[in-house]
Structure 1
Amino acid sequence: MTAPRIDLAVFDMAGTTIDEGLRVYQVLADTARAHGADPTDEDINRWHGAAKHEALKALLIDNEGIPPEPDRLALVVEDFRRRLQTAYAAQPPTPLPGVLDAMTQLREAGIKVVLNTGFDHDIVGLLLGAIGWEGDTIVDGVVCGTDVPQGRPAPFMIFRAMELAGVSDRSRVLAAGDTPRDLAAGVNAGVGYVVGVLSGAGTAQELGSHQHTHLLRSVADVPALVSAMTLEQAR
């Protein structure tokens, strides 16, 4: 890769770098139903890419518009975590094709790579352990929805990733994900490159209808994009 024009790539996890079969959304629906809600597919789709504790809190708002008490919500989140752990044990997640090579290429070019996710650290530990991405040999950090005051579409996870990576110039940050919330977070953070990938929950039509700079088949295509942008800038 030629000298990069970005300093940091921030990638979502499920559906963007990791294939978990979209089980997280089925488990989200099952957990909500087990605790008295009756979400439709549209209700669940609305929370693609969101912090899961925020999604569960919204899905469990009662008919009078009252959200669950904090103690109850904590129990629901713990139930969600157990159900997801069981689902992942039955069908372990895997890295999406070409993603590991892409992240290695980026890091070898001097670009920091930070993952961000709506999962909490317990679930992230399960995911990264299952695919062998533990430690700092694969990525430069992980930011969870529970690390910041508000999850996507708020920009705070991207800002936290910049802080972890020691990057201050937003124009030299690329943020990629498979949901409209991922794109909105990138736009709200004011990063230079907001990339939708078609490897997960979002379709080309869905992602294309939201503000972005690029749509790619996969994160595997990001190194080629960065090289092309750099060559274009050098002309």
Structure 2
Amino acid sequence: MFELAVLDIAGTTVEEHGCVYIALEEAVRAAGANPGLADIQLWMGADKREAITEMLTDAFGTAPETAVVDTAYADFRRRLEAAYAERPPTPLPGVAEAIAALRAAGVKVALTTGFDRAVTDALLGTIGWDETVLDAVVCVDDVPAGRPYPYMIFRAMERTGVRDVSKVLTAGDTVRDLDAGTNAGAGMVVGVLTGGLDATALGKVRHTHLLSSVADIPALLSIGAPRPVGR
């Protein structure tokens, strides 16, 4: 029996209409680079500050000064905040019910993300997800390095008291999500097709399952829907 499901946020559990990658591309362009679609896809699921740094390094041929990265990252956050204000994020269809079903069956649920804590708290606050809905939320600034390193998964295990990584399921919509799950040694590494990559792109990297959505995870684990309160 699995004890913990570690799920990505944007594109995996939350519909944010690709705003994060639009904001990322715009901020990097404003800083003087000219990223293409492949460049943006390469950094899907990554620490956004790292993504900005590396794309600017590729563009300039040398690592940018810290002040340049700080300015671009602040620009990214402003653009993302404006995009979310105009088109607020929402849970993807069936995901809230899936999370409830998992927790009702005794599977703890943690979210991990390439966002920092401030962005994450604002996003989840908009949706109304808190400790009554989730068991843990791990952000990229909680660990030494983001995906594809497995540290956020291990931190989620630490915060939820899960010791055996073979009893952990990870799920995400990017190559880096799958790589992190594989690098952690998770018992299941699930790719979901609710983000910006299709089955062909996700299927190129190691995984155990590809699903249409996180909403399909309870069925994968033979878990039924939670019973209504009072029944």
TM-score by length of 2: 0.93
Among 132, 135, 154, the alignment partner of 2:128 is 132
Shift of 1:62: 5.6
Which residue is 2:160 aligned to? 165
Which residue is 1:110 aligned to? 106
- After superposition, the Cα gap between the structure-2 partners of 1:64 and 1:90, relative to the gap in structure 1 and judged at 3 Å, is closer
Which residue is 1:78 aligned to? 74
1:53 aligned to 2:45?
Answer: no
Which residue is 1:219 aligned to? 214
1:204 aligned to 2:190?
Answer: no
Which residue is 2:190 aligned to? 195
Q: Is the 8 A contact 2:34 2:59 kept in 1?
A: no
Q: Distance in 1 between matches of 2:69 and 2:202?
A: 31
Give the SS at the match of 1:113: strand
1:5-49 Cα shifts (integer Å, max 9, x gaps): 100000000000000011111110000011111111111111111
Give the SS at the match of 1:88: helix
1:148-186 Cα shifts (integer Å, max 9, x gaps): 111111111111111111111010000000011100000
Shift of 1:127: 1.0
The letter for the 1-side match of 2:82 is T
Matches of residues 119-158 of structure 1 in structure 2 within 5 Å?
A: 119-133=115-129, 135-158=130-153
Unaligned runs of 5+ residues in structure 1 are 229-235
Which residue is 1:65 aligned to? 61
Shift of 1:65: 3.2
Unaligned runs of 5+ residues in structure 2 are 224-231
- After superposition, the Cα gap between the structure-2 partners of 1:96 and 1:63, relative to the gap in structure 1 and judged at 3 Å, is closer
The letter for the 1-side match of 2:173 is D
The letter for the 1-side match of 2:48 is K
- After superposition, the Cα gap between the structure-2 partners of 1:178 and 1:170, relative to the gap in structure 1 and judged at 3 Å, is same
- After superposition, the Cα gap between the structure-2 partners of 1:82 and 1:64, relative to the gap in structure 1 and judged at 3 Å, is closer
Q: Distance in 1 between matches of 2:60 and 2:194?
A: 38
Shift of 1:64: 5.7
Q: Distance in 1 between matches of 2:80 and 2:102?
A: 31
Give the SS at the match of 1:29: helix
Q: Distance in 2 between matches of 1:131 and 1:25?
A: 20
Among 6, 13, 18, the alignment partner of 1:10 is 6
Among 31, 34, 41, the alignment partner of 1:38 is 34
CA RMSD of superposed structures (Å): 1.2
Shift of 1:71: 2.8
Q: Distance in 1 between matches of 2:60 and 2:93?
A: 46
Which residue is 1:23 aligned to? 19
Which residue is 1:97 aligned to? 93
Q: Is the 8 A contact 2:23 2:79 kept in 1?
A: yes
Shift of 1:63: 5.3
Q: Distance in 2 between matches of 1:43 and 1:86?
A: 23
Name segments (4+ residues, structure 1) moved above 4 Å: none
Shift of 1:72: 2.6
Q: Distance in 1 between matches of 2:200 and 2:152?
A: 26
The letter for the 2-side match of 1:44 is I
Number of residue pairs matched by the alignment: 223
Give the SS at the match of 2:63: coil
